[in-house]
Amino acid sequence: MNVISALSSPWAIQPEKFDEILAVYSSHLRDEATDLDALAAKLGRPVQRREQGYTVTRGVAVIPLHGVIAKKMNMFSQISGGCSTQLVERDIRQALEDPAVKSIVLHADTPGGTVDGTAELAESIYRARGRKPIIALADGLLASAGVWIASAADAIYLASPTTQVGSIGVVTRHVDYSGRDKRAGINVTEIYAGKYKRIASEHRPLSGDGRSYLQGQVDYLYSIFVNAVAQHFGISSDSVLSDMADGRIFVGQQAIEAGLARGFMTLREIVDHAASGRETAAAPRPDPTAALRAAWNENPALRARYAGDFRTYEMAERRRRPTGAR
């Protein structure tokens, strides 16, 4: 993800963290602090340069889900001390195949991150249900994309009564650089084909059509987020919308009462709990789209009704009926 796409891509993250990341990106856009060593001095701490991995204690693999979540370990994840969904998925896959590992704990402290990569990681965790117990521990903060991922585990626990969980939602931003360009004597002429190719260009003020286009993207991704959480928790999308997904942060017991977590455990306690075998793996889940896909393929009228868009049909069906009880 380059600077421009980072500024305009949808994120599932706490808004204040989003502001911080965009400020860093904007400084790079102005060719400021491009040296990571200089940036480390400015931040007062070293940037992250190491790759992820997991530790095993008494047959329990602890996999970190710390900091800003991104698909790859690029510049902003180094700056924010974040994690890569690709590397987390790799570690989970290795832990599932590791004979020394009996259970997996996702140790999460994250404000969320990019939508890109999050859905794929969550889906891989959900598909792994039934192989080995996978438990998520929210330790400090579990927000937005972090909830998306953790909800796919067999259970979520909170490390303390002050642990924060929630901020389910999607955010994007349009940045208008036309004033800056004008002050710098820069005149940008964009040559493109297709009405929506540059509908929200950063080189001019956002138009009404551009705003509608971006809002449509955010709304669509939000519905995917909500439906995924509903599927993972085995509840209806309406329940997620009414009880969890209005962007609020729930603290401690509030998160448990909202259905976002089962209870409290410290990291030591959850490792003991997992090592004891008291947390069993959930039953393997059938492919939730198999029946829908079969109906879709066999019914031309259904395809016509949804203009050939299977994803829209799938989301409509998930909203209409619960996905089972957890």
Q: Given pLDDT bands bounded at 50, 70 and 90, which one contains residue 41? A: low
pLDDT at residue number 235? 87
Asked if pLDDT for residue 27 goes beyond 60, the answer is no
CB atoms within 10 A of CB 323: 18
Asked if pLDDT for residue 326 goes beyond 60, the answer is no
What percent of the chain has a predicted confidence (pLDDT) above 70? 71
**What integer best gives the mean pLDDT of the chain?**
78
Q: Given pLDDT bands bounded at 50, 70 and 90, which one contains residue 42? A: low
Please state which of the ranges 4-18, 112-126, 153-167 shows the lowest mean pLDDT.
Answer: 4-18
Which of 240, 243, 213 lies closest to 229, judged by CA?
Answer: 240
Distance from the Cα of residue 279 to its chain's centroid: 25
Each residue's pLDDT tens digit, 84-107? 899 999 999 999 999 999 999 999
Domains (range + CATH), the chain: 3-171+209-285 (3.90.226.10), 286-326 (no CATH)
pLDDT at residue number 29? 46
Determine whether 287 is exposed, middle or buried from the number of CB atoms within 10 Å of its CB (0-12, 13-18, 19+).
exposed
Alpha helix segments (H runs only) across 102-177: 118-127, 145-150
Please state which of the ranges 41-50, 61-70, 218-227, 233-242 shows the lowest mean pLDDT.
Answer: 41-50
